[in-house]
Amino acid sequence: MKIALIAHDRKKDDLIQFVIAYLPILTENSLYATGTTGQRIIDETGLSVHKFRSGPLGGDQQIGSMIAQDEMDMVIFFRDPLTAQPHEPDVTALIRLCDVYNIPLATNMGTAEVLLKGLKEGFVDWRLIRERRG
């Protein structure tokens, strides 16, 4: 599965802790991230991550483009609901595309845990079945 990992600055520590906690599941999947988030994951966990541009420089849109091409299976996006982002329209667009294409999306750690546990149990396998048919 292809999983996008994204965190706003004040949520990056939380995401790193989350990634460490779920390392066994995440290692079995292909990971993608916006630039700064991806670099921190690589530096602090040793995981292999495909990095896009930083969020404010178009990274959210690059991940959105993968979703629009049916090439992303899950998005974990630790948003900061208390800080205004200069690229808020990009953030909204990414979330919108997840809804357009029914891509499982977590915007906080509580939901992210449920998604990864669900992924392990096979609840997202419909994405693979759909790929084989495609």
Ligand X SMILES: O=C(CO)COP(=O)(O)O
Our measurement of the distance from residue 124's CA atom to the centroid of its chain's CA atoms, rounded to an integer in Å, reads 15
CB of 129 to ligand X, least distance (A): 30
Distance between CA 40 and CA 89 in Å, rounded?
24
CB 2 within 8 A of CB 19: no
- Tell me, yes or no, if 60 is annotated catalytic: yes
Least spacing, CB of residue 77 vs ligand X, in Å: 7
50 is in an annotated binding site: no
Q: Which long-range contacts (CB under 8 A, 24 or more apart) does 50-57 make?
A: 55/6, 55/8, 55/85, 55/87, 55/90, 55/91, 56/85, 56/86, 56/87, 56/90
Stretch near ligand X under the rule CB under 6 A, chosen from 16-24, 33-41, 96-104, 110-118: 33-41
Nearer to ligand X, 9 or 131 (CB): 9
Q: Name the β-bridge partners of 7.
A: 78
Contact call for residue 8 and ligand X (CB under 6 A): yes
| Residue among 9 and 125 whose Cβ is closer to ligand X | 9
* Contact assessment for residue 72 and residue 66, using Cβ atoms and an 8 Å cutoff: yes
**Shorter beta-carbon distance to ligand X: residue 55 or 104:** 55
d(CA 65, CA 107): 19
Distance in Å, CB of 52 to ligand X, minimum: 8
Per the annotation, binding residues for substrate are 8, 12, 34-37, 54-55, 87
User: Catalytic residue numbers?
Assistant: 60
* Residues of the shown chain interacting with ligand X in the complex, contacts defined by CB under 6 A: 6, 8, 34-37, 54-56, 59-60, 91
